[in-house]
Amino acid sequence: MATPTVSPLRWHGRADRAPLVLAVMDGVGFGPGDDGDAVHRARTPHLTRLWAAAPTCTLRAHGSAVGLPSEDDMGNSEVGHNALGAGRVVRQGAGLVQDAIADGSIFASATWADLLKAPIATRDDTQPATLHLCGLLSDGNVHAHIDHVLALLDAAAAAGARRLRVHALADGRDVEDPSFEQFLERLDAHLERLRAAGCDARIASGGGRMTVTMDRYGADWSIVERGWRAHVLGAATPFPDWRAALAALRQLEGGQSDQTLPAFTIVDAAGPVGAVCDGDSFVFWNFRGDRAIEFTRAMEEYEFTPFDRGARPNVHYAGMMQYDGDLKLPTRYLVAPPSIEATMGAFLVATGLRTLAVSETQKFGHVTYFWNGNRSGTLDDRLERYVEVPSDRIAFDRAPAMKAAQITDIALEALASAEPPDLIRLNWANGDMVGHTGNLEATVTAVEAVDAEVGRLRAAVEAVGGVLVVTADHGNADDMWLRDKRGQPLRLPDGRLQPRTAHTLAKVPFSIVDARAGARRWLLAADRAEAGLGNVAATALELMGLEPPPHMDRSLLIWDAAQDAPNEG
């Protein structure tokens, strides 16, 4: 299919233009409906009313519905907002990397060849340069996949690289928590086979993803600094091997969870086994961009101020993908990212309509960068306003209301203005960010906080005669227990139910409140089994009185003249 071009949308002939608010409840799906389902357990009078009386259906938000390789792949906020903003399914990073490894194109690239030159050659002191590989070590397939780094290691060793070092980050969000030991065992067994074949391949450093390296949106640069000290300088807490590191760190505060595992560096008699030196090569193997951009900046930028790097080593650096196409970060990458043109935002700009996008730091990039097809910045400063509410820098289960009220306040202020935007899009982060902590009670409170904001927002939209669309980007808070294949909760050795910190495969809600005078009572294609997040953009455009462009997945609205009655929702 040819890339769609951006051209002004055609009006559908309706003159009842009014502000449309598209609210995303991050991580709020429809789960099993038991005591482990925080959405079910929460007191949600506003959502209950919405789902019972307003036009409502469910949408697929995982697997092929958001461009992921298989139906076992959980959706996530990034691919979810890509689909919401693009109005169609776009094949995503996991699948693109998988394809490139399968057909060998990743290893035929000039970038890969350049990365291997020094590790294959021998320095004057007879020690070859090192190829470093750093990233999230799990099979969650949200940010990265262990199979990808194993393939890189095999290809590098086969090509003649003689010194490989792995800097492994623990997951605990997209997979079972804790499970880092299992992935390290698999990695170490693989490295042992390479060592047996004559390649010096070792684990060099590590830590938990929420405390080491993988910050995003500038929320806490100290996270990246810890990663820099562990991976690049070899200056984190030293241990002789990863088993000793985990045995000790599991006893410390934060060590019980993979997410918050403290940083560690592996050392031998000569010092750190994997400190980065001039002339080395370094690959960040995450395919998803948001939590890879800051470390990439630290590796590539000459003028860098977020923290003191010391002497930046002169290395050949590449990402698995390019994490920001506008900022060209990184400069070199192994697999080209998805190109998402002609997004909903681009068409609204071309039509001259005004947009407000608002969320807190943790999801600000989702209603902007990811919504706009992985493009940084506004599309048109004259027509768009992006507002970021700074997130708290504490564990999210300690303040589960997060910044939901402040986000709503900004939307309400815009609605009450003399010239409200044509579209307001917002994201309440609570269900996802608090859900990832595994704290069931806090997640119940988080969902209740979102429900309160739905009520406030609905009242304001109705007061100005606008349209409200409420949906979600993936499941998370809807199932807080790990379960077996029969759906039965799993228990820890002490008898406690085992918490779930990862996303789910749940469908998500989609509801409409149309408060325009004489508005029709909309019908939704609730029986459309394939309906997913990609259908939302066309539906929203149609509600705005616009004819959706043909490249977008079709609208969920059913145009039935017999239904021209006031909206009872």
List of domains in the chain: 20-90+339-563 (3.40.720.10), 94-335 (3.40.1450.10)
Helix spans in 371-491 (H) = 404-415, 430-433, 440-464
Q: Is 303 exposed, middle or buried (0-12, 13-18, 19+ CB in 10 A)?
A: exposed
Per the CB < 8 A criterion, the answer to whether 230 and 245 are in contact is no
What is the pTM (predicted TM-score) of this model?
Answer: 0.77
CB-based contacts of 413, cutoff 8 Å, min separation 6: none
What are the backbone angles phi and psi of residue 368, rounded to the nearest 5°?
-120, -80
Predicted confidence (pLDDT) at residue 103 exceeds the cutoff of 50? yes
What is each CA distance from 252 to 45, 256, 307, 322, in whole angstroms?
41, 8, 26, 36
CB-based contacts of 470, cutoff 8 Å, min separation 6: 23, 25, 47, 50, 454, 509, 510, 511, 513
Per the CB < 8 A criterion, the answer to whether 482 and 40 are in contact is no
CB-based contacts of 83, cutoff 8 Å, min separation 6: 65, 66, 67, 89, 90, 532, 533, 534, 536
Nearest-angstrom CA–CA distance, 7 and 420 = 24
Q: What is the DSSP letter of 139?
A: S
Per the CB < 8 A criterion, the answer to whether 211 and 173 are in contact is no
E strand intervals along 28-109: 56-59
CA nearest neighbour of 426 among 446, 448, 447, 404: 404
Q: What is the mean pLDDT of residues 12-34?
A: 84
CA nearest neighbour of 36 among 534, 520, 385, 483: 483
Per-residue burial over 3-25, b if 16 or more Cβ lie within 10 Å, else e, is ebebeebeeeeeeeebbbbbbbb
pLDDT (tens digit per residue) in 380-390: 999 999 999 99
Looking at the chain, the whole-number percentage of residues with pLDDT higher than 70 is 93
The one catalytic residue among 77, 257, 281, 359:
77
Cα 524 to chain centroid distance, Å, stands at 28
pLDDT (tens digit per residue) in 185-198: 999 999 999 999 99
Nearest-angstrom CA–CA distance, 74 and 363 = 18
Per the CB < 8 A criterion, the answer to whether 45 and 455 are in contact is yes
Per the CB < 8 A criterion, the answer to whether 412 and 375 are in contact is no
Nearest-angstrom CA–CA distance, 77 and 84 = 10
Our answer to whether residue 77 is catalytic in this structure is yes
Nearest-angstrom CA–CA distance, 207 and 213 = 8
pLDDT (tens digit per residue) in 251-297: 999 999 999 999 999 999 999 999 999 999 999 999 988 899 999 99
CA nearest neighbour of 343 among 84, 69, 112, 522: 84
Per the CB < 8 A criterion, the answer to whether 164 and 188 are in contact is no
Per the CB < 8 A criterion, the answer to whether 532 and 479 are in contact is no
Strand, coil or helix: 132: strand
Predicted confidence (pLDDT) at residue 564 exceeds the cutoff of 60? no
Per the CB < 8 A criterion, the answer to whether 173 and 436 are in contact is yes
Beta bridge partners of 168: 135, 206
Q: For the ranges 65-69, 316-320, 351-355, which has the lowest average pLDDT?
A: 65-69
Residue 1 pLDDT level (bands cut at 50, 70, 90): very low
pLDDT of residue 337: 78
What are the backbone angles phi and psi of residue 51, rounded to the nearest 5°?
-70, -25
Predicted confidence (pLDDT) at residue 126 exceeds the cutoff of 90? no
pLDDT of residue 403: 98
Helix spans in 417-526 (H) = 430-433, 440-464
pLDDT (tens digit per residue) in 212-233: 999 987 889 999 999 999 999 9
Q: What is the mean pLDDT of residues 445-454?
A: 98
Place of tokens 């949408």: 59
